[in-house]
């Protein structure tokens, strides 16, 4: 006797851990950079290099990469930039022993303060969201072999199984050409690249990525004036994903890193091209939904079977979708009432604070961190910056919700604008795009073992040959056939019942022991 089992690989994800830590370092201005009078913009990102479990801690090693735009301290003030990095090592406490730890998201809030014109204190509040994940193998019993005169009850169950995991990097290399009317580039001062759209889909053995980066470049012209350009840069590529196809689903985390912009010469020898390079880091889990015919129960007409069952937790797909929500807010900016002519660039980042399953869908609480570069009435340095935040709450609709759903959710700002309304007020409008994979756990009573014993003649003799039976609520053909030692087909034949229609409560039927004929 042998149970036939189907292997199912399930994704296990532990509870996310949010870790906040401080990187506080002094930085000496390099000799080839001019003295600093005022810091305009300070930004940074964490570059993770190693994640390793050490006893009850997760050790995270990496670098903080920072970028600063500043006003020079000289007779004729100018704008300049500098970049640098600090190593960091963080120990995150955890009692979870399962899985491999991954970084789900990172955030940094960088503040650069002048100590003097050649030295900065760079204080960064950093945040990482870590989660343990692993693939777990399970078995579902679908059949049995080697049991004499065996009657089986089977049922179809929809199961979500993990087909593959993917970690890869897609390199983006594109160019922007200055439109007519824009002056040539002498030096790039500041570059900001943010995803404006990112679509992904599975095809045969590949993951297709398609999207747009919104690229802003602030530059100095040959006559030492300041100018800027903002253009969308489209990209499309293919990442190998063996075994994938169009019918499968995927949970994906992405991050743009290694952004770089450089001025290049065009065909006429003029500096009118900006070369754009960036890396799209992709971590994905690929799932396949399968209809599995499970062996629910069985018995034999010639021997006694003892079935051992155990609960097996699987998952079913609820939804995979790209969802959007709109955010609108009016800001009061009295400090800028008479000090702003034009907003030339707006940038932002998304922080997801909390998600919760509701009856109508997934409620998301988040924060939009917003900053803009604007023109002000100043003959020397006619630019300045503003930074703030806009909290929001939205509900991502889902037609089928359960209290115990598991949602994998990430997002980005697809569109962002800040419009001046006058009287020290500005209107923020944003479209936030989310990628959601929603699953729910299902418990399956699975046959884990089977014991076979011979049936004695005395036991067979004690069973009644004919039984008159009144059908009760909950009765079915298989259960009655198993109970009285016959087959479903026999009950149907004797009583003129169509097997597909089954039994009706209150119906009276005759049940004959197998091999007993009507004389």
- Per residue in 87-99, pLDDT (tens digit) is 999 999 999 988 8
d(CA 476, CA 482): 10
In this prediction, residues 167-185 reach a mean pLDDT of 94
Q: Where are the domains of the chain?
A: 1-146, 150-282, 319-455, 461-512
User: Higher-confidence residue: 461 or 201?
Assistant: 201
Beta strands of 29-118 (E only): which ranges? Answer: 36-54, 57-72, 79-93, 100-116
- Residue pLDDT, tens place only, 198-231: 999 999 999 999 999 999 999 999 998 899 999 9
Q: Which tokens hold the place of 261?
A: 């912009």
Which 3 state secondary structure label does DSSP give 490?
helix
Q: Looking up tokens 């014993």, which residue turns up?
A: 453
CB 376 within 8 A of CB 385: no
Sequence-ordered list of residues with C-beta below 8 angstroms from that of 463, at least 6 positions apart, any chain: 484, 485, 513
> Is a pLDDT exceeding 50 seen at residue 347?
yes
> Is a pLDDT exceeding 60 seen at residue 196?
yes
d(CA 263, CA 270): 10
Q: Which tokens hold the place of 99?
A: 């899985």
Q: What percent of the chain has pLDDT over 90?
A: 68
- In this prediction, residue 515 has a pLDDT band, given cuts at 50, 70 and 90, of low
> Is a pLDDT exceeding 70 seen at residue 516?
no
In this prediction, residues 123-136 reach a mean pLDDT of 93
d(CA 349, CA 379): 31
CB 61 within 8 A of CB 145: no
In this prediction, residues 91-120 reach a mean pLDDT of 93
The helix or strand, by DSSP H or E, that contains position 458, with its residue range, turns out to be helix 457-462
pLDDT at 518: 43
> Is a pLDDT exceeding 80 seen at residue 458?
no
Which 3 state secondary structure label does DSSP give 492?
helix
> Is a pLDDT exceeding 50 seen at residue 399?
yes
pTM of the model: 0.84
pLDDT at 341: 87
Q: Which tokens hold the place of 304?
A: 């006694």
Q: How many CB atoms lie within 10 A of CB 430?
A: 22
Q: What share of the chain is helix, strand, coil (3-state, %, to 5)?
A: 5, 70, 25
- In this prediction, residue 128 has a pLDDT band, given cuts at 50, 70 and 90, of very high
Nearest to 435 by CA among 216, 282, 289, 328: 282
In this prediction, residues 324-336 reach a mean pLDDT of 90
Q: Looking up tokens 């039927």, which residue turns up?
A: 509
Which 3 state secondary structure label does DSSP give 205?
coil
Q: Give the least confident one: 188-197, 240-249, 451-460.
A: 451-460
pLDDT at 517: 42
> Is a pLDDT exceeding 50 seen at residue 479?
yes
> Is a pLDDT exceeding 80 seen at residue 55?
yes
d(CA 419, CA 326): 16
Sequence-ordered list of residues with C-beta below 8 angstroms from that of 311, at least 6 positions apart, any chain: 443, 444, 445, 446
Give CATH superfamily name and number for 461-512.
LysM domain (3.10.350.10)
Half-sphere exposure (CA, 13 Å, Cβ side) for 109? Answer: 12
d(CA 422, CA 332): 10
- In this prediction, residue 406 has a pLDDT band, given cuts at 50, 70 and 90, of confident
Q: Give the least confident one: 77-91, 254-268, 292-306, 375-389.
A: 375-389
- Of the chain, the end-to-end C-alpha distance in Å amounts to 37
- In this prediction, residue 402 has a pLDDT band, given cuts at 50, 70 and 90, of confident
């Amino acid at each position: 006797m042998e149970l036939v089992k189907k292997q199912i690989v399930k994704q296990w994800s532990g509870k996310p851990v949010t870790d906040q830590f401080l990187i506080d370092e002094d930085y000496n201005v390099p000799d080839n950079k001019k003295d600093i009078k005022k810091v305009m913009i300070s930004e940074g990102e964490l570059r993770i290099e190693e994640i390793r479990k050490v006893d009850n801690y997760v050790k995270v090693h990496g670098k903080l990469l920072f970028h600063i735009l500043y006003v020079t301290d000289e007779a004729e003030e100018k704008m300049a930039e500098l970049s640098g990095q600090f190593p960091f090592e963080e120990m995150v406490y955890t009692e979870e022993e399962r899985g491999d730890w991954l970084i789900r998201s990172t955030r940094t809030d960088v503040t650069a303060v002048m100590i003097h014109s050649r030295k900065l204190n760079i204080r960064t509040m950093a945040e990482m969201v870590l989660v343990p994940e692993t693939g777990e193998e399970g078995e579902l019993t679908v059949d049995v072999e080697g049991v004499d005169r065996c009657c089986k009850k089977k049922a179809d169950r929809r199961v979500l199984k993990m087909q593959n995991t993917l970690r890869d990097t897609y390199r983006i290399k594109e160019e922007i050409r200055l439109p007519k009317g824009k002056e040539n580039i002498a030096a790039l001062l500041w570059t900001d690249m943010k995803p404006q759209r990112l679509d992904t889909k599975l095809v045969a053995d590949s993951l297709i990525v398609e999207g747009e980066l919104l690229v802003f470049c602030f530059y100095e012209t040959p006559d030492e004036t300041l100018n800027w350009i903002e253009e969308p840069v489209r990209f499309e590529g293919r990442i190998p994903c063996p075994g994938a196809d169009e019918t499968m689903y995927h949970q994906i985390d992405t991050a743009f890193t290694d952004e770089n912009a450089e001025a290049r010469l065009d065909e006429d020898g003029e500096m009118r091209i900006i070369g754009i390079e960036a890396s799209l880091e992709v971590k994905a889990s690929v799932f396949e939904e399968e209809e599995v015919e499970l062996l629910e129960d069985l018995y034999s007409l010639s021997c006694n079977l003892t079935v051992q069952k155990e609960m097996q937790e699987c998952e079913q797909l609820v939804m995979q979708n790209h969802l959007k929500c709109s955010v609108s807010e009016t800001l009061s900016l009295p400090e800028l009432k008479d000090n702003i002519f034009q907003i030339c660039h707006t940038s932002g980042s998304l922080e997801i604070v909390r998600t919760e399953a509701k009856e109508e869908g997934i409620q998301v609480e988040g924060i939009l961190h917003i900053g803009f570069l604007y023109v002000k009435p100043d003959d020397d340095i006619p630019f300045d910056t503003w930074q703030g935040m806009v909290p929001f709450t939205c509900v991502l609709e889902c037609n089928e919700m359960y209290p115990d759903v598991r949602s994998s959710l990430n997002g980005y700002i697809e569109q962002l604008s800040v419009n001046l309304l006058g009287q020290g007020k500005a209107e923020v409008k944003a479209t936030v795009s989310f990628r959601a994979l929603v699953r729910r756990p299902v418990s399956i009573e699975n046959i884990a073992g089977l014991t076979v014993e011979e049936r004695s003649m005395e036991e067979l003799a004690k069973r009644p040959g004919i039984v008159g039976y009144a059908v009760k609520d909950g009765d079915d053909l298989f259960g009655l056939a198993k109970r009285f030692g016959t087959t479903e087909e026999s009950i149907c034949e004797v009583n003129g019942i169509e097997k597909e229609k089954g039994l009706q409560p209150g119906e009276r039927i005759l049940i004959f022991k197998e091999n007993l004929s009507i004389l």
